[in-house]
């Protein structure tokens, strides 16, 4: 599996174009520091803004919920129909203050929900899955219920794209049913022209803070995998994670419309 990941990253590096001026213009319009990698599933042809940053690792934050969902399902820490009971402790995000299903926990990025799952999965399983998938870098020792939040697990935009390609191709050791469940909860938008599957992330404990948006777009012509990260200057920047990504995909002609 490790050789497969290395080969994917090597192919990515040799198929990427130089700095894409169309994406750069989108980011410049918002005066945002960040990177975006967009790569075709079919042949690996890629477009990049900020290639040096694209190779730099940052705390993965809630983008790990993509991988964590598969792990939790495979390890029977949750099922597609499970209900996670809220303990009544209030959280700053109102959507967390209720019982959750897997789908709702993913949609609202419920931290306590995934911490419950993580406690059931355990350290050894996480070490094995992260190592075998080549998913960024995990620093030891780590807190089982916080390692994706506190910076112990870091990943680059390039590695996010390589990982998502493994997920789409079902190359990791998960059942077909679990892949199908993940795809269902990742669906963010569907139109006659495309289907968008994605997850946000906010490394709020990092300095500076980092915002993520990762996923893929299915079109009639191809599947395009993407990973965006930006430096978050204030909470208002969080809305730019999907906005910059979608505007860039429009500028590249992958999504319909103008950026």
**Parallel, antiparallel, or unpaired for β 46-49 and 16-19?**
parallel
Q: How far apart are CA 218 and CA 197, in angstroms?
A: 8
Task: Determine whether 158 is exposed, middle or buried from the number of CB atoms within 10 Å of its CB (0-12, 13-18, 19+).
Answer: buried
Q: Provide the β-strand partners of residue 40.
A: 224
* Residue environment code for 77-115, b if the CB has 16+ CB neighbours within 10 A, otherwise e: bbebebebebeeeeeeeeebeeebbbbbbbbebbbbbbe
Q: Is 248 a catalytic residue?
A: no
Measured CA to CA in angstroms, residue 77 lies from 91, 122, 224 at distances of 23, 10, 31
- Out of 62, 109, 156, 248, the active site residue is 62
Residue 226 in contact with residue 199, Cβ under 8 Å? no
Map residue 223 onto helix, strand or coil.
Answer: strand
Closest CA to 194 of 168, 221, 219: 219
Catalytically annotated residues? 62
């Amino acid at each position: 599996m490790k050789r497969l990941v290395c080969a994917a990253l090597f192919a990515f590096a040799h198929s990427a174009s130089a700095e894409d001026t169309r994406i750069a213009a989108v980011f410049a319009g918002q005066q945002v520091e960040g990177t975006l990698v967009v790569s075709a599933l079919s042949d690996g042809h890629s477009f990049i803004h900020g290639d040096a940053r694209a190779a730099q690792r940052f705390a993965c934050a809630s983008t790990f919920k993509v991988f964590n969902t598969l792990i939790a399902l495979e390890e029977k820490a949750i099922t597609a129909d499970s209900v996670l009971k809220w303990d009544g402790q209030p959280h700053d995000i109102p959507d967390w203050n209720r019982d959750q299903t897997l789908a709702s926990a993913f949609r609202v990025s419920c931290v306590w929900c995934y911490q419950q799952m993580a406690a059931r999965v355990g350290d050894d399983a996480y070490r094995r899955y992260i190592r075998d998938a080549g998913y960024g870098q995990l620093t030891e020792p780590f807190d089982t219920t916080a390692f994706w939040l506190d910076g112990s697990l870091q990943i680059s935009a390039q590695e996010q794209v390589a990982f998502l390609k493994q997920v789409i191709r079902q190359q990791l050791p998960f059942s077909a049913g679990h892949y199908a469940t993940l795809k269902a909860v990742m669906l963010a938008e569907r139109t006659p022209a495309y289907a968008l599957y994605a997850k946000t992330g906010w490394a709020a404990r990092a300095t500076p803070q980092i915002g993520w948006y990762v996923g893929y777009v299915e079109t009639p012509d191809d599947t395009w995998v993407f990973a965006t990260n930006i430096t978050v200057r204030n909470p208002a920047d969080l809305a730019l994670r999907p906005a910059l990504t979608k505007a860039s995909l429009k500028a590249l002609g992958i999504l319909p419309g103008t950026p």
